[in-house]
Amino acid sequence: MTDTRQHILATGRALVARRGYTGVGLSELLREAGVPKGSFYHFFKSKEAFGCALLDSFVEGYAEDLAATLDAPGLNGRARLMAYFEGWRTRQSGEAYEARCLVVKLSAEVAELSPGMTEVLARGVSSITARLASVIREGAADGSLPAHDDASALAVTLYQIWLGASLMGALSRDTIPYDSAMAATAALIDRKGPTA
């Protein structure tokens, strides 16, 4: 069955979102998934290959969610952008580990560990910031946002703010950093002139 593979990935995602990549052992993962250890190496050639597959499926799923939020019909560009960040805050400060962003959780850990996983994350990040930049341009076109002369740079800055807020939120275990990020986001997108 190929959905044994899917099941391992889904179980792994929640586990890795909580304990990190190095922190999750095969034994724990497979016990949790109810899958015998032998099967694992049938579906993945190594733990790192599993990690890459996990991130691939995360990035893919994220892109779909992103499309659903940022292409929501009937909302102007600004509202769609703010909805995205509201969603970020909700997921990242909620209880559900499987909803947490793996870029936040794994970037630092994986950067020196696995070039393959790093690459998948890096591609995911740049596609997110690219999509954010185009929504900023759409907001300028529909009049909901001022014209920003470098939408890409603004998108990167916003994404950096939210990554940083997520790190701080993990440390403080409250939503204050996200509230701060939300305020900064609103201030940045609504004001004219060179921002980044």
22 binds a copy of itself per the rule CB under 8 A: yes
Which amino acid does the sequence have at 105?
K
Q: Which stretch binds a copy of itself (CB under 8 A): 37-45, 57-65, 113-121, 135-143?
A: 113-121
Give the C-alpha separation, 181 to 108, whole Å.
21
Give the C-alpha separation, 78 to 141, whole Å.
11
Give the C-alpha separation, 100 to 93, whole Å.
8
Q: Which stretch binds a copy of itself (CB under 8 A): 52-60, 67-75, 76-84, 172-180?
A: 172-180
Contact 83, 69 (CB under 8 A): yes
180 binds a copy of itself per the rule CB under 8 A: yes
165 binds a copy of itself per the rule CB under 8 A: yes
Q: Which residues bind DNA (CB under 7 A)?
A: 1-2, 4, 24-28, 35-43, 45-48
47 binds a copy of itself per the rule CB under 8 A: no
Closest approach of a copy of itself to the CB of residue 174, in Å: 10
Q: Which stretch binds a copy of itself (CB under 8 A): 2-10, 26-34, 49-57, 168-176?
A: 168-176
Nearer to a copy of itself, 4 or 116 (CB): 116
Contact 169, 188 (CB under 8 A): no
134 binds a copy of itself per the rule CB under 8 A: no
Closest approach of a copy of itself to the CB of residue 134, in Å: 18
Contact 136, 159 (CB under 8 A): no
160 binds a copy of itself per the rule CB under 8 A: yes
Give the C-alpha separation, 107 to 121, whole Å.
7
Query: Of these, 14, 63, 82, 163, which contacts a copy of itself (CB under 8 A)?
Result: 163
Nearest partner of 48 among 26, 15, 17, judged by Cα: 26
Residues at the site binding a copy of itself, with contacts judged by CB under 8 A: 18-20, 22-23, 103-109, 111-113, 118, 121-122, 125, 153, 156-157, 159-165, 167-168, 170-173, 177, 180-181, 183-184, 187-188, 191, 193-196
